[in-house]
Amino acid sequence: MLQPMLSSATCPSNQGPALMVNTMCGEGTMELESQSFLPHGPFFVLSGDKNESIVLKTQQRLQEFKATTHQTSLVDLIIWDAQQLPLRRDIVDVFLADLPFMGRTS
């Protein structure tokens, strides 16, 4: 799992709305960290994984975040294959991928 400090460093720091895509969401660290940037300007996160149980785990973590912080999440989760993303050309500002080289966490 990506550490929160490194995850927050990957978030875009532009001034306007942006679309960030996380091609392999894993347990949702990037998604959760991205929401802490909302007061500094909105950006939307489109995130997914081909493993349905991983996407459900990320969804659960986002729901817990919303319940404890009373914030609205700007994250949409999708089950997809990162090799064939269903996105139009030139729509994404930032692509992220925390590749699963280090093994599993739980």
CB within 8 Å of 98: residues ≥ 6 apart: 2, 7, 22, 24, 26, 29, 30
Q: What stretch of H or E contains 61?
A: helix 52-69
Amino acid 105: pLDDT: 53
**By percentage, how much of the chain surpasses pLDDT 70?**
72
pLDDT in tens, 81-94: 989 999 998 898 88
pLDDT band at 100; cut points 50, 70, 90 = low
CA 29 and chain centroid, separation: 7
pLDDT in tens, 45-68: 899 999 999 999 999 999 998 899
pLDDT band at 41; cut points 50, 70, 90 = low
Average pLDDT over residues 22-33: 87
pTM exceeds 0.75 for this model: no
CB burial class (10 A; 0-12, 13-18, 19+) of residue 10?
middle
